[in-house]
Structure 1
């Protein structure tokens, strides 16, 4: 695995393959606009060879931007990434901190928002990936949005969190920083540290962060949405249920999920996608979405889909 750029044209990866979804920019590098979110690889915990094969297929398809975290599969995913990627692949690996593994808990992870916990997670990512420096680290906040919510000692001011992460950057253990699950005020407070990306929940049916997307566009910050098709949580809206999405899919001979991903790429030039899957065929479909052309009439119909809000339900 490498985190250093390998010579390539803007339109091809280091291995000479056309970049999935075309070229985008992240952390001062050109990367594929369709990347890969590695969280779903934890489903292959009992089949390491298949997990490695999915990542190798991603490289073959022109993906050179991968999102991970040490708490994915309690370190399994980072171990697979370390094994799968070769120096000549030129893959940019982005990781995140703000949680840690908790295999025996109600959920397989727990929040780790305190400065000393953020430092420990950076060290854990470095060790698992066998790197001296992490190319990009996202601070995953937890005061709002889907997923676990911070309370008690896990309610930590973003300035205190950014302070420890910039110290780690000064120590050479992190190259670039990003933020995740933040609101406009937090984003503005983070701007002085030079975030290279923002990861928020955002999709065709959940566009409440439009203002922040535009801030990122103005500041040359990559917008990297998670839940790009709507939330996986029960009770939340999904792009693939929308009549306009279904109509576009039928017209173009595409899957509804491909329409939802293609809309994101058309919506703003700083959007990078990290859809996740543990299935090679699904991976191929996600990459193919990056080549879908949406005409003006289709885009207008999709843009007219109302944004919706909702609270996830947990059993």
Structure 2
């Protein structure tokens, strides 16, 4: 058996070891509890937001349809990393098999890519609503919303398939320790014993393209929105438009800022500790912040929540 074949077989059956966050912590039990609480908050917050949007007819609009898609992505996002990490800490086992690592990588890249394009679709929706209100029912009908959302999921899955299939075919004959808390592409690539410079360059260009297209759409949309808002005669209209758009821009800056650091900055800026810290921010904390940003700063969502809370006691009284 030649060396290349041995390395290929070696990659196929040997597990990886996730160094994770807990090995870096002086109080792993406390960190485990905090992460579990954050996980529950993210799931409950996004689930409630989806429930409100589905149950309240006043929220059956394109903007809230896209917000529900964002919440769904966030729920899947945090499910991809946190349960495995918590179970490993409880069981005292940090191993992950190659197929599990590949699946985790695929889901993570797919969801991240889908969210990039979804945020662009959301900015386009706000552009049409504010800058072309008379054409809004035509340009953003149900069919168009479904088409945009499907396109976001499809483009994200294409990115996930390409990066995962190439990354997991490299031979890994160095240390099997992944200095991360999940199978992120750059962290796994560092373990390869082959020359990955060309692939890293292509991956960099792919990520630039994945970010450049949505950023161009978002920048163009919000430039047009800002110019339109400044020309509005109604102070109340300006306030409502800016409140809606500022919530979206907050989410965009949080998500894209972390993504640019991870995938576009030169390797000299990266250390395993920094990479894990940034990844914690946009894979664990962002799914918690998104429903808060869209609910606390949105009167329509808080109104729907109040109506839902009022309906439940009324139903209980009728049952009694």
Q: TM-score, normalised by structure 2?
A: 0.25
Q: Hey, which of these two has a bigger chunk of strand by percent? A: 1
User: Which has the larger Rg?
Assistant: 2
Q: Hey, which of these two has a bigger chunk of helix by percent? A: 2
Higher relative CO (CA 8 A, sep ≥ 6), structure 1 or 2?
A: 2
Q: TM-score, normalised by structure 1?
A: 0.25
